[in-house]
Amino acid sequence: MALFDDVLDELLADPRVARGVFFGHPGAKLGKRVFACEVDGDLLVKLGAERVVEMQQAGAARVFDPMGGRPMNAWALIPEPDSGDPVRAWVELAEEAKEYLADEA
């Protein structure tokens, strides 16, 4: 969770972002809606169904299915990167999710 704490610190630099909880997991929200959180060591972000499919096909993500059999197709679970700067990688995805949520409103 230390990685997500660092990501959340970066996201909170935007005054529109606040701490939130999603399915009992710590997250970042824009207004009343969570756009990113940590789930069992993975980053969970809301990117929209098309983007999630694109990331799945690239082997970079999987669909979030918290109840087994009812996937949330707009949400992607992203594992911690093996190389590079994992905080930067996750912040970029969370920022993408924040913009997706802002555009959706």
pLDDT of residue 66: 86
Q: Name residues whose C-beta falls within 8 Å of residue 39's C-beta, 6 or more positions apart in sequence.
A: 23, 25, 64, 77
Report whether pLDDT(7) > 90: yes
Q: What is the pTM of this model?
A: 0.93
Q: In what order do the strands lie in the sheet with 42-46?
A: 17-22, 25-30, 33-39, 42-46, 72-78, 62-64
Q: Name residues whose C-beta falls within 8 Å of residue 41's C-beta, 6 or more positions apart in sequence.
A: 1, 79, 80
- CA 101 from centre of chain: 11
**What are 28's two structure tokens?**
């970042």
Distance CA 93, CA 65 (A): 19
Report whether pLDDT(1) > 80: no
| 68 vs 47: which has the higher pLDDT | 47
Q: Indicate the domain borders of the chain.
A: 2-104
Q: What digits encode the pLDDT tens for the residues 57-99? A: 999 999 999 888 889 999 999 999 888 899 999 999 999 999 9
Q: In CATH terms, is domain 2-104 a member of 3.30.1460?
A: yes
Q: What digits encode the pLDDT tens for the residues 25-42? A: 999 999 999 999 999 999
Average pLDDT, stretch 7-12? 96
